């Protein structure tokens, strides 16, 4: 099931302002904005963020299943998504290493998330939002990637730029 912008906004609306909620908000926002695969998302490093003078940032996607030369690709974050990411980074006291970390109590530990965790987070947020059982069941770790591509199509973006954006 694709999570388009309207559904993404519903998921973001139920995130909390504690450490877990800030991480979940950043995960949803960055995943949608970058069209990252779940494995690409959880492999991001703090050092992969490159802020620019426009109030946005570029993000180096190092790991991709269709990138055997490991050249990476650049994705762009909008100001809103960068703000969600910055709130998470500040709250988790991240200065380097894994970007989306596991939580141990009230602390973010220096370990990468498992890609399966994204689906669990999305299903949890969808349940809190009031999605039906069938909709929650159909959500996967790639739902934001699929929905972002669908949203770009709805917005009139041609197929080739969508393919480039999503790697």
Domain count, the chain: 1
55-78 pLDDT tens trace: 888 888 876 666 556 667 788 888
- Pairwise CA distance, residues 148 & 134, whole Å: 21
| Per-residue pLDDT at 158 | 76
Separation between Cα atoms, residue 117 and residue 148, nearest integer Å: 19
Q: Which residues face 112 on adjacent strands?
A: 101
Q: For 119-133, write each residue's pLDDT tens digit.
A: 888 899 999 988 888
Side-chain half-sphere exposure of 34, counting CA atoms within 13 A: 33
Q: What pLDDT is stored for residue 55 in this prediction?
A: 81
Predicted pLDDT at 71: 61
Report the CATH number at residue 95: 1.10.443.10
pLDDT at 23 over 90: yes
**Half-sphere CA count of 80, side-chain side, radius 13 A:** 9
The average pLDDT across 83-92 equals 93
| Host domain of residue 94 | 5-165
């Amino acid at each position: 099931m694709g999570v388009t912008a309207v559904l993404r906004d519903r998921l973001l609306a139920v995130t909390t302002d504690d450490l877990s909620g800030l991480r979940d908000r950043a995960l949803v926002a960055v995943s949608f904005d970058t069209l990252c695969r779940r494995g690409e998302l959880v492999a991001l490093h703090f050092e992969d963020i490159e802020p620019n003078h426009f109030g946005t940032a570029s993000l180096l996607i190092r790991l991709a299943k269709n990138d055997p030369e490991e050249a990476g690709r650049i994705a762009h974050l909008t100001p809103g998504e960068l703000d969600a990411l910055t709130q998470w980074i500040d709250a988790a006291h991240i200065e380097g290493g894994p970007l989306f970390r596991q939580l141990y109590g009230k602390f973010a530990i220096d370990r990468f998330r498992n890609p399966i965790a994204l689906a669990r987070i999305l299903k949890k947020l969808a349940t809190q939002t009031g999605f039906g059982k069938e909709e929650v069941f159909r959500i996967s770790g790639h739902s934001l990637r699929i929905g972002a591509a669908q949203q770009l199509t709805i917005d009139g973006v041609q197929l080739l730029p969508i393919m480039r954006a999503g790697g």
